[in-house]
């Protein structure tokens, strides 16, 4: 039997649909979803076997959403990071991001940079927020960087040039859809995939623990034979 996953990645889907079911605006779902982020992150931080938690917060395709929703998400992200700094520090969590931050406002970039720096000494769980992130975009940016540096593209060099250099062990998607939506394409080559109908605002520790128990029973062979 395998141990618990060292690197968990989650596609947090269903905020908007959950809010609509409640008769609320989609933004209400995003507010609730941010609370679940805190719950799941602090739970993982208490488990020393889990080294990284990567959360798909805003994709390169999410810019296609209504302008008012995108603007709300940007403000929510800035407010969330400011309020969560204490949570990170209290739980020895190091905050990092993956994705292209250059399109964000200077204000948001400054807040992100501040939280990254303020938690850089933390030695516990690493929480990666995927912001303006897309797996294809990540691979293209890495390949272009290697080309500019005149470095041959190999498995090792490309992997080291990516935003996230660590393979994903367990990838979870909430919200009912059975696809990975351009998330961690390279890193998830041998990830165990779990899909749940539960919308993200209703996803909790109990369901995560059930998934982890199933993960522990999986024989991971990585193309070989045990």
Q: Catalytic residues, which ones?
A: 13, 62
What is the DSSP secondary structure assignment for residue 32, as one 8-state letter?
H
Alpha-carbon gap, residue 85 to 126, rounded angstroms: 13
Work out the angle between the directed axes of helices 26-45 and 67-90 (0-180°, nearest 10): 20
H or E element: which one contains 57? strand 52-59
Please, what is the end-to-end C-alpha distance for the chain in angstroms? 11
**Which residue from 56, 41, 54 is spatially nearest to 88, judged by alpha carbons?**
41
Alpha-carbon gap, residue 74 to 154, rounded angstroms: 36
Tokens of 45: 């931080």
């Amino acid at each position: 039997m395998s141990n618990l996953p060292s690197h968990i990645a989650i596609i947090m889907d269903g905020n908007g649909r959950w809010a609509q079911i409640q008769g609320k605006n989609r933004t209400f779902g995003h507010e609730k979803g941010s609370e679940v982020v805190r719950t799941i992150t602090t739970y993982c931080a208490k488990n020393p076997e889990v080294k990284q938690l990567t959360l798909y917060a805003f994709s390169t395709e999410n810019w296609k959403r209504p302008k008012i929703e995108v603007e709300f998400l940007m403000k929510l992200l800035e407010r969330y990071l400011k309020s969560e700094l204490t949570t990170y520090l209290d739980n020895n969590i190091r905050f990092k991001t993956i994705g292209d931050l250059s399109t964000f406002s200077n204000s948001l970039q400054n807040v992100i940079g501040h939280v990254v720096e303020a938690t850089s000494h933390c030695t516990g769980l690493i929480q990666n927020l995927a912001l303006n992130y897309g797996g294809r975009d990540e691979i293209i940016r890495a390949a272009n960087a290697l080309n500019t540096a005149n470095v041959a593209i190999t498995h090792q060099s490309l992997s080291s040039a990516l935003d996230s250099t660590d393979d994903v062990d367990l990838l979870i998607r909430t919200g009912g859809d059975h696809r990975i939506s351009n998330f961690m394409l390279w890193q998830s080559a041998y990830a165990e995939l779990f899909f749940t109908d539960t919308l993200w605002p209703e996803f909790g520790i109990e369901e995560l623990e059930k998934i982890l128990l199933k993960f522990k029973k999986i024989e991971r062979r990585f193309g070989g034979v045990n």
